[in-house]
Structure 1
Amino acid sequence: MIRLLIFVVLILALGFGFAWLADRPGDLFIVWQDRRIEMSLMTAVTLVASLIAAIMVGWWIIRAILYSPRTVSRYFRASKRDRGYQALSTGLLAAGAGDAAMARKMNKRTKGLLNADQEPLIHLLDVQAALIEGRHEEARKLFEAMAEDPETRLLGLRGLYLEAQRQGADEAAQHYAETAAEQAPQLQWAGSAALSYRTREGKWNEALGLLDKQRQAGTLEPAVADRHKAVLLTARARDHADS
C-alpha cells in the first residue's frame, strides 16, 4: 500500500513538473569539444528522465538475474515442504483409519521431503504405523526415543504408559504416569493414573500434593478437588489411626 502511494505521488510529481516546463518553454545549449548541441528544455528533461528510467529498469533486471537462483531455490524448498506436510497429513489420517499400507507409504514419502529432527509429527506417524501393523517392540523403542526429546516427551510417556498397560506391566505404567504427572499436572490421564497408584499404595501425602498441582493447573474443578481432598484426608487419618 505504501509503495503504491509513493508510486502515485511520483507520477503526479512528474506530471506536474512536465506541465510546469511546458508552460515555460526554453532552449538548452551544450558546448562540448567545440561542438554545439542545441535542444529544447522539454526534450532535455525527457532524455534525462528516460535515462534514469532505463538505469532503474536495468538495475532491476540485473538484480533479478543475481537473485533468481536464490528465489528459485526458495520456491522449490517451499514446494518440497508443502508436499511433505501433505504427505504427513495423509499418513496421519491413514494411521487413524487403520490403513497400514497407506500410512507406511506416506511415512516413507514424508521422510524424503521433511527433516524428522525439525518436525516431531514424523515420529508420531512412525509410531502409529508401527502400532497398527502390530510392531509393538518397535513402537516402544520409538516412544522411548520420543520421551528423550523435550518436544515430544509427554507424547512418548503416554505411549509408553499405554504399552505398559497393554503388557500388564503395572510398575512400568505407574512410573510413566507419575513422571508425566510431575512434569505436566494438567495432563488428565497422567494425573488420574498417578493419583490412583498413590492412593492404592497409601501414599497420602504424595497424592495430596499431586491433587493440589492438578487443582492449580485447572485440571480439576475446585469442588471436585475439594471432595477428592476430603476423601484423601479421611483415608490418611484412618490409616494413621489403624497404625
Structure 2
Amino acid sequence: AWLADRPGEMLVTFNGYQYQVTLMVAAVAIAGVVAAVMIVWWLIKSLWNSPYTISRYFRVRRRDRGYQALSTGMIAAGAGDGALARKKTKEAAKLISADQEPLINLLDAQASLLEGDHEGAREKFERMLDDPEMRLLGLRGLYLEAERLGDRNAARHYAGRAAAVAPQLAWAAESTLEELTERGDWD
C-alpha cells in the first residue's frame, strides 16, 4: 500500500534494452524471483535427500513391524500360547536386533519355557547375565527354574546375587532373608 501510494518508476538498462516499470511492479517482480529461487532450492534439496528419506522410512517401518511382533509375542507368552510366542520371537528377531531390544531375549526364553524346553530356557537366562541391562531378569529366570526343580541352594544363590545388586527386589530379599534366618546369621 505504501508503494502504491507513492508513484515512481524504475528504469533498468540491460544489454542495450531499456525496461521501465512502476515501483510496485518492480517490488512484486523481485518478490516473485525470490520465491521462485526458494522453491527451486527446496526441490533440489528434496531430490538430493530423497534416498536417505526413503531408506529411513523403510527402516522405521521395519522397526515398527518388529515391535508389533514383539508385543504380540509377549501377549501370547503371557496367555500361554507357546507356538505363537515362538513364531513372533523369530519374526521380531528378523526385524529388530536383539542388541537394540533385549526383550527379544526374554520372549525367546519364555517361548522355550512354554514349549517345555527348560534346558534351552535356562541357557537363555544364563546368557542374559552377561548383559547388565538384562542381568536381573536372567537371575529371576534362573531362580524360578531352580525353584521349579526344587534346588533350593541354586535358587538362593541366584536370589543372593540379585539381592546384592538390587536389594529392593522383594523375591530376592525374601529368599536371602529366609536363607540367613535358617543359618541363624542374624547379623
Amino acid at match of 1:71: T
Q: Which residue is equivalent to 1:141?
A: 123
Percent identity at matched positions? 56
**Match status 1:184 vs 2:166:** yes
Q: In structure 2, what is the equivalent of residue 122 of structure 1?
A: 104
Compare CA radii of gyration and give the structure with the larger one.
Answer: 1
Are residues 1:172 and 2:148 paired? no
List structure 1 segments (4+ residues) > 4 angstroms apart after TM superposition: none
1:41 aligns with 2:26: no
Quick one: which amino acid aligns to residue 87 of structure 1? A
Alignment of 1:90-101 (within 5 A): 90-101=72-83
Distance 2:82 2:181 in 1: 40
Gaps of 5+ in 1: 1-18, 206-243
TM-score normalised by structure 2 residue count: 0.96
Once the two structures are TM-superposed, the CA of residue 81 in structure 1 deviates from its matched residue by 1.2
How far apart are residue 76 of structure 1 and its match? 1.4
Count residues in correspondence.
187
1:158 aligns with 2:140: yes
Residue 95 of structure 2, aligned match among 108, 113, 122: 113
How much has 1:36 moved relative to structure 2? Answer: 2.0
Distance 1:91 1:33 in 2: 74
Unaligned 5+ runs, structure 2: none
TM-score, scaled relative to structure 1:
0.74
1:142-183 deviation digits (Å, cap 9, x = unpaired): 000112211011110011111111112222111101111111
Of the three residues 14, 20, 26, the one matched with 1:32 is 14
- What amino acid does structure 2 have at the position aligned with 1:90? T
Please tell me whether residue 60 in structure 1 is matched to residue 35 in structure 2.
no
Residue number among 50, 55, 61 corresponding to 1:79 in the alignment: 61
Q: CA deviation at 1:94?
A: 0.5
Question: Structure 1 residue 60: deviation in Å?
Answer: 0.8
Q: Return the alpha-carbon distance in structure 2 between the equivalents of residues 72 and 119 of structure 1.
A: 24
Distance 1:204 1:159 in 2: 28
- More off after superposition, 134-143 vs 67-76: 67-76
Q: Residue 33 of structure 1: CA displacement?
A: 3.9
Cα offsets for 1:4-49 (capped at 9, x unmatched): xxxxxxxxxxxxxxx1111112111122344322222222112111
Matched, 1:22 2:4: yes
- Match of residue 51 from structure 2: 69
Letter matched to residue 169 of structure 2: L
For residues 32 and 195 of structure 1, the distance between their equivalents in structure 2, rounded to whole angstroms, comes to 95
